[in-house]
Structure 1
Amino acid sequence: MERDAHYFLVGLFVIVMAVAGFFFAGLFYDKPSTATAVYDIHFDTPVEGLEKGSEVRYMGIKMGEVSEVFLLPDNPVRVGVRIKLEVRTPVNAATVATLRQQGLTGVPFVSLAQDSSLESEPLSVSAGNAFPVIRTKLTDMDAVIQQLPNLEQNLSKLVAAANEVFNTENREHLAGLLKNLHEASAGLPQLIANLNQTSRELKVLVEHLDGAVQRSEQGLAGNMKALQSTLASIKQTSQRVDKLVQDIDRVVVNNEGRVNELLGEGGENLKAVLDESRKAAVSVRQLSERLEQNPSQIIYQPVPQGTELPR
């Protein structure tokens, strides 16, 4: 009887401990504290490693998990991923989903972010879908992988073009060109030395010419002063001659009868002399005026004007 009571106490203790364990497990169980919203994502690329329970992060923060991974019935080459997010997650029409790998372990997860090029309108359910569909965006690596076929094709064209350019004939021409360039460049140092020597000689010549011009200008300035003085004397002389001729002419006119009687036939000669003297005085005065206005015409001949007609 005592043995049965002992077994009864042991069984009762086990039952109590089991109930207590379940009770404490229920207290510490991580129950969802907020409501969730369901969204679909349609990937055009394989989602290797992504499965139910994988994390869904918004801007790097865990906001939900993957609830289902399936193939789209109308397009078997596309993969549908259904996710559950906390209702406070700011999902809209500008939200894009990217499949990424976590650290060195390579565990995939879904990353959500906002695309600034899209308008942030409310995301609604489109026709033919049970839940709102979030846009997808390729990662940088996926974009590079997608461009690899085009890159390979472009590289093939580039190699073909390079082979066509560097054929045997063109390589021979290029080799000859390089040889000619090498031969031409061999004489460059001597050519440069000759140019330097020529420039130095030109500099010395310019200095000599500059000195000669300065000396010529000084001499020309002295000659111009003397010429101006001479012109002033010529002008005064012409004025005196002109006045003298006018006086003689006036005397002759006033005493024409007496002069004719005194000189006889020589009166006509005196008149001719007076006329020639008057003309000479006028010519001297005009010459002095022209020289006074432009003394350089003594040195430089005037440039002929007009147009020469063919004979």
Structure 2
Amino acid sequence: MERDANYVAVGTFVLLLLAIGTGFVLWYSETGDRRQYQRYEIYFDGSVFGLSEGGSVRYLGVAVGRIARIGLDPRDPSRVRVIADISDDTPIESGTVARLALQGVTGLLFIDLKPADPNRPQMEPVASLNYPVIPSERSDFDVFISSLPDVVAKAGEVLNRMNAVLSDENIGAVTAALSSIEDATRQLPATVDDTRRLLAQLEGVAEEIRGAAADVRGLTSSSAPELREAIVRLRNAADSIAAVSARIDQFVAANEDSLSRFADQGLSEFDALVRDMRETVKAVERLSRQLGDDPSRLLYQPSSRGLEITP
């Protein structure tokens, strides 16, 4: 009797499970995907790695279908033939194109459909085998994948060049150059001071030349026109030296900060110029002293011939 009761309980439980399963199937069939699908062919040039059967087909990011089959084009093995089931209510037009897109960070690909664009160049149509064909275009992902070997090669070349530039020899040369610039920068203020002192000396010498020229002009007021012209030129030269000295002094005062950054180029030429200026000052000082002591010596040289006496 107890055994019969157990059989009844088991049978009741099984019938209940069957009823629940049947109800779920009926509910799912009523609320499931009732859309009608149209089958299309899409051809891609190159690899479609990451694209799988059952994958999503989207129109502007909205899921509108699924991938039914993936295979090679029997007419061209370098081309991949994808068969996709797309909802009838999807606006597939003559200018609609398909492209591969990356789904998040998963690495999986899906087919993304783009609407017709009048500015888009016309695609070369591919003959259909069984179903209508949706033309495809290269996506940014395809361009990136195809250019990746070139990018890697260029990156390697850049690294090799950086290693060559940052060699021990070049680093040593740069260190030596920086040390030389630092030494020259420390010496530059003293050089500027020497230049200012030389300019002051030039101004004094110019004043002495003016005075000597005036003395010579007084001694030779009745001399030949050529002598007067020489005196005028001497005075003009003194005036020019004074003017140049004033301009250089103004330049040095206005550009002292810039001269401090001048140490990386032209410092040796600047020092040579200072040395030449020193020699010039010395020569002009000697000339001024001679003019101050005896101006006539500059104009009347002693005769190199002896005095001839007539008997």
Q: State if a TM-score over 0.5 links the two structures.
A: no
Range into which the TM-score falls when normalised by the shorter chain? 0.3 to 0.5
Based on CA coordinates, which of the two structures has the bigger radius of gyration?
1
Structure 2 length-normalised TM: 0.44
TM-score, normalised relative to structure 1: 0.44
Q: Which has the higher contact order (CA 8 A, sep 6+)?
A: 2
